[in-house]
């Protein structure tokens, strides 16, 4: 149940952020749902591997390089999906920050920890 709620929250965040950021386009609500699922999978599987291999750079930048990794995950989702378009790296960076804030808020209010 918790995963389903997280997917729905991500999908809503994708829709809201695509309305706020002009460089992000989502075809429809189904595409937003798929983007939410793909971002959860990418952040669960690929992101830890990238963080591990870029650990020295992440330490040198005091963790700020993780924001770049988030943007790369968004751009990878753009490359994998048809109904999701990101104009450039900077929009991916802003989109990744927005999704991270939403997920952090959800995780901080989660009672099932």
3-class SS at 88? coil
Is the per-residue pLDDT at 113 higher than 60? Answer: no
Q: Which residues contact 44 (CB under 8 A, 6 or more apart)?
A: none
Residue numbers of the domain that contains 15: 2-100
111 domain residue, yes or no: no
Tell me how many domains the chain contains: 1
24 domain residue, yes or no: yes
113 domain residue, yes or no: no
106 domain residue, yes or no: no
8 Å CB contact between 4 and 37: no
pLDDT in tens, 56-112: 999 999 999 999 999 999 999 999 999 999 999 999 999 999 999 999 998 888 665
Which pLDDT belongs to residue 110?
Answer: 67
The CA-CA-CA angle for residues 67, 72, 76, to 5°, reads 150
pLDDT in tens, 20-48: 999 999 999 999 999 999 999 999 999 99
E strand or H helix that includes residue 105: helix 89-109
110 domain residue, yes or no: no
């Amino acid at each position: 149940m918790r995963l389903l709620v997280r997917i729905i929250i991500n999908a809503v965040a994708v829709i809201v952020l695509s309305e706020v950021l002009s460089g992000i386009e989502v075809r429809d609500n189904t595409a937003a749902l798929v983007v939410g699922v793909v971002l959860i999978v990418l952040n669960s599987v690929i992101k830890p591997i990238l963080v591990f291999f870029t650990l020295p750079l992440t330490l040198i930048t005091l963790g700020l390089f993780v924001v770049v990794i988030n943007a790369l995950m968004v751009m990878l989702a753009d490359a994998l999906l048809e109904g999701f378009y990101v104009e450039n790296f900077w929009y991916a960076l802003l989109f990744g920050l927005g999704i991270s804030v939403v997920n952090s808020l959800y995780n901080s209010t989660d009672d099932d920890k």
